[in-house]
């Protein structure tokens, strides 16, 4: 017979709190409701709630202190954090710290019913599994940025498997952040005090990769003038990240499989075996199952590495994260003067497919920061990005506009409108505006006179048509 579960709902919004409580009661739970202010402290701290649902506020409040106290004193309570500002890093931090779930508000009926079902199934099958574990975060030097729903779900998975020592196989296109995910898996595990060692398998020849990874004895091959331990020794007690693992040879894959299965390492040219404790995270930008089917990657090694599989989405499938990433990259750029992106540039960046993914976006922001003069304009972008935007515009044939195209402005009107907005941006500093346009001040003065541009007292300016010569 299933035990009746108890939930505590801490939420300031009355309608939201009542909605959550009613769904849980309908599912057969005993529910207590509270706000996040001081009245939370009046709740009996000895109550054995199975689930506490609490809003995760950016500002510390009594509810957060109360929930943390309940988690420390109770061995059967789990917490569900809800937030109106969900982020990938927030999801990763919450789940890896032991939260049962991290949900973005407003919550739907399906969200809550699924939450009830998941918790009941887990509790009824093994109540002892519902135990709180303290966060074991090491130093995190690289963060994951995003708020798209698909990326949040991936970060929850990363948070759940981080505390384990299971092998993880990361897949995804180049530049999607596989090494950053691997580093975060390590930093949130019990191994975070140990080393994190990364090796790009595709950068080494077949002859060198075994010696680099497992070490070699003096004289074992030409140029081996001394004994040298391998990266596997360096990663003992920590994590090793094998990037582009599918680029290795089949003969090396046999040796790697034996090392992972038995935890044994034998240096090149040696008969002695060393036992090392290393967690393995592998990655590839290829379709690994297809590589297995084509005989280029061993099936048994794939199964050994693929205890948990995570596929990182390309940037074009989470475009809503692009502005957040740009903002983060802008903060990393050190320039003499701050720079901003014009609306036209942001539109172009949102439309571009980003075959190089996050890495390409980062490099683009760095480049434009060096090229621009305070504001990034379309001409500051790499040519391939500008050309893609032009190629997506339907060409005009036979000198006539397609019926469904809007009426286009003349080149003179476009130039006048742009100069006016640029002057507004520079507070009518003509020297600064001329520098951005890459023309001398006299040329800019002639253009201002030609288009009859005046400094209007309001933003209601509409450029006048070019006067007839």
**Cα(33)–Cα(12) distance, rounded to whole angstroms?**
10
pTM, two decimal places:
0.73
- Both 295 and 165 in a single domain? yes
Residue 296 lies in a domain: yes
Contacts with 42 (C-beta within 8 Å, 6 or more apart), sequence order: none
CATH number, position 121? 3.40.50.2300
Phi, psi (deg, nearest 5) at residue 217: -90, 160
The CATH code of the domain that includes 210 is 3.40.50.300
Claim to verify: residue 269 and residue 339 sit in the same structural domain: no
Q: What separation, in Å, do the N-terminal and C-terminal C-alpha atoms of the chain show?
A: 93
* Domain-terminating residue out of 267, 283, 311: 311
**Cα three-residue angle 210-214-216, rounded to 5 degrees:** 85
In a domain? residue 81: yes
CB 217 within 8 A of CB 198: no
Residues 4-43 have pLDDT tens digits of 888 989 888 889 999 999 999 999 999 988 887 755 555 6
Burial of residue 155 (CB within 10 Å: 0-12, 13-18, 19+) is buried
Cβ atoms of 201 and 248 within 8 Å: the answer is yes
For residue 464, what pLDDT is reported?
44
State the Cα–Cα distance between residues 16 and 31, nearest whole angstrom.
14
Same domain, yes or no: 264 and 293: yes
Please give the share of the chain, as a percent, with pLDDT higher than 70.
Answer: 79
Q: What's the residue count for the chain?
A: 469
pLDDT at 285 over 80: yes
DSSP code for 19: H
Of 244 and 394, the structure prediction assigns the larger pLDDT to 244
Domain finish residue from 261, 277, 311: 311
Tell whether 469 is covered by a domain. no
Q: Do residues 284 and 349 share a domain?
A: no
Q: State the Cα–Cα distance between residues 241 and 168, nearest whole angstrom.
A: 10
Number of domains in the chain: 3
Distance CA 115, CA 82 (A): 12
What are residue 263's DSSP bridge partners?
none
| 303 and 321 co-located in one domain | no
Q: With pLDDT > 90 as the criterion, what percentage of the chain qualifies? A: 40
**Do 69 and 47 share a structural domain?**
yes
Highest mean pLDDT among 40-44, 102-106, 195-199, 432-436: 195-199
Task: Tell me the average pLDDT across 330-334.
Answer: 76
- Asked, for residue 225, whether it belongs to a domain, the answer is yes
Statement: residue 406 has pLDDT above 50: no
Q: Looking at the DSSP assignment, which residues form a beta bridge with residue 376?
A: 341
pLDDT category, 462, cuts 50, 70, 90? Answer: very low
Burial class (CB in 10 A: 0-12, 13-18, 19+), 461: middle
CB contact at 8 A, 47 and 69: no
Reported as a pLDDT band with limits 50, 70 and 90, residue 461 is very low
Classify 243 as helix, strand or coil.
strand
What per-residue confidence (pLDDT) applies to 422?
81
Which segments of 182-290 are extended strands (E)? 196-200, 215-216, 228-229, 239-243, 264-265, 274-275, 279-284
| CATH code, domain carrying 357 | 1.10.8.60
Checking if the pLDDT of 403 tops 50, the result is no
* Main-chain dihedrals φ then ψ at residue 180, nearest 5 degrees: -65, -40
Please tell me whether residues 29 and 60 are part of one structural domain. Answer: yes
Provide the b/e sequence for 181-199 (b: ≥16 CB within 10 Å): bbbbbbbbbebbebebbbb
Query: How far is the C-alpha of 313 from the C-alpha of 173, rounded, in Å?
Result: 8
Distance, CA of 323 to CA of 313 (rounded, Å):
17
Q: How far apart are CA 278 and CA 213, in angstroms?
A: 12
- What does the pLDDT read at residue 278? 95
Full DSSP string of 273-314:
-EE---EEEEEESS-HHHHHHTTSS-HHHHHHHTTEEEEPPP
From the list 458, 387, 378, 368, the residue with the least C-alpha distance to 414 is 378
Residue 124 inside a domain? The answer is yes
Q: Please give the order of strands across the beta sheet that includes 279-284.
A: 196-200, 239-243, 279-284, 168-171, 308-311
What does the alpha-carbon distance between residue 170 and residue 246 come to, in Å, rounded to a whole number?
Answer: 12
Q: What is the predicted pLDDT for the residue at 141? A: 44
Is 405 a residue whose pLDDT tops 90? no
pLDDT of residue 43: 61
Structural domain of residue 158, as residue ranges?
149-311
Of 61-65, 186-190, 241-245, 275-279, give the lowest mean pLDDT range.
61-65
Residue range 455-459: mean pLDDT, rounded: 60
Co-location of 294 and 322 in the same domain: no
pLDDT, tens digit (0-9, with 9 covering 90-100), for 175-233: 999 999 999 999 999 899 999 999 999 988 877 898 889 987 876 666 666 778 889 99
Q: Answer whether residue 465 is part of any domain.
A: no
pLDDT of residue 368: 86
Query: Which of residues 147 and 451 earns the better pLDDT score?
Result: 147
Strand partners, 310: 170
pLDDT at 313 > cutoff 60: yes
Using DSSP's 3-state secondary structure scheme, residue 371 falls into: helix
> Largest alpha-carbon pair distance within the chain?
93
Q: What per-residue confidence (pLDDT) applies to 226? A: 77
> Are 184 and 64 in a shared domain?
no
Residue 137 within a domain: no
215 - beta bridge partners?
Answer: 229
Same domain for 271 and 347, yes or no, is no
Rg (CA), the chain: 29
Residues 370 and 444 in one domain: yes
Residues 159 and 272 in one domain: yes
Q: State the Cα–Cα distance between residues 38 and 36, nearest whole angstrom.
A: 7
Model confidence at 97, pLDDT cuts 50, 70, 90, reads confident
Looking at 69, 96, 129, the residue that finishes a domain is: 129
The residues that bridge with 268 in the sheet, in sequence order, are 216
E strands along 165-290, which residues? 168-171, 196-200, 215-216, 228-229, 239-243, 264-265, 274-275, 279-284
Mean pLDDT over all residues of the chain?
A: 82
The residue among 403 and 436 whose pLDDT is bigger is 436
**Phi, then psi, of 309 in degrees rounded to 5:** -115, 130
How many C-beta atoms lie closer than 10 Å to residue 365's C-beta? 21
């Amino acid at each position: 017979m299933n035990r009746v579960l108890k939930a505590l709902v801490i939420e300031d919004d009355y309608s939201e709190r009542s909605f959550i409580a009613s769904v849980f009661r309908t599912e057969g739970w005993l529910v207590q409701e509270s706000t996040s202010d001081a009245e939370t402290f009046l709740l009996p701290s000895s109550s054995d709630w199975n689930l506490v649902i609490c809003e995760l506020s950016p500002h510390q409040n009594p509810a957060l202190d109360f929930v943390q106290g309940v988690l420390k004193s109770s061995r059967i309570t789990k917490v569900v954090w809800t937030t109106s500002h969900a982020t990938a890093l927030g999801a990763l931090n919450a789940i890896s710290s032991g939260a049962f779930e991290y949900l973005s508000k407003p919550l739907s009926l399906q969200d809550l019913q699924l939450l009830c079902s998941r918790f009941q199934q887990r509790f009824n099958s093994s109540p002892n599994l519902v135990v709180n574990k303290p966060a074991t975060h090491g130093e995190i030097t690289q963060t994951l940025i995003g708020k798209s729903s698909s990326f949040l779900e991936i970060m929850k998975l990363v948070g759940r498997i981080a505390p384990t020592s299971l092998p993880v196989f990361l897949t995804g296109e180049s530049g999607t952040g596989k090494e950053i995910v691997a580093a975060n898996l390590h930093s949130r595990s019990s191994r975070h005090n140990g080393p994190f060692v990364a090796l790009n398998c595709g950068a080494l020849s077949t002859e060198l990769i075994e010696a680099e990874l497992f070490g070699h004895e003096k004289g074992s091959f030409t140029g081996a003038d001394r004994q040298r331990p391998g990266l596997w020794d360096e990663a003992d007690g920590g994590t090793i990240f094998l990037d582009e693992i599918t680029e290795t040879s089949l003969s090396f894959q046999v040796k790697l499989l034996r090392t992972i299965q038995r935890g044994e390492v034998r240096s090149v040219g040696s008969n002695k075996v060393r036992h090392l404790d290393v967690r393995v995270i592998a990655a590839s930008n290829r379709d690994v199952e297809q590589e297995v089917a084509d005989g280029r990657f061993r099936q048994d090694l794939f199964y050994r590495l693929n205890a948990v599989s995570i596929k990182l989405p390309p940037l074009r499938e989470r475009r809503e994260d692009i502005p957040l990433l740009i903002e983060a990259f802008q903060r990393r750029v050190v320039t003499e003067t701050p720079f901003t992106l014009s609306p036209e540039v942001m539109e172009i960046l949102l439309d571009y497919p980003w075959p190089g993914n996050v890495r390409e976006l980062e490099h683009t922001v760095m480049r434009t920061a060096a090229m621009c003069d305070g504001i990034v304009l379309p001409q500051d972008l790499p040519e391939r990005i500008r050309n893609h935007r032009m190629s997506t515009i339907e060409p005009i044939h036979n000198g006539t506009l397609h019926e469904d195209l809007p009426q286009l402005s003349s080149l003179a009107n476009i130039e006048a409108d742009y100069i006016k907005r640029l002057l507004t941006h520079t507070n009518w500093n003509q020297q600064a505006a001329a520098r951005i346009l890459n023309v001398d001040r006299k040329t800019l003065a002639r253009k201002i006179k030609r288009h009859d541009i005046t400094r209007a007292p309001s933003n209601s300016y509409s450029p006048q048509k070019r006067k007839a010569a």
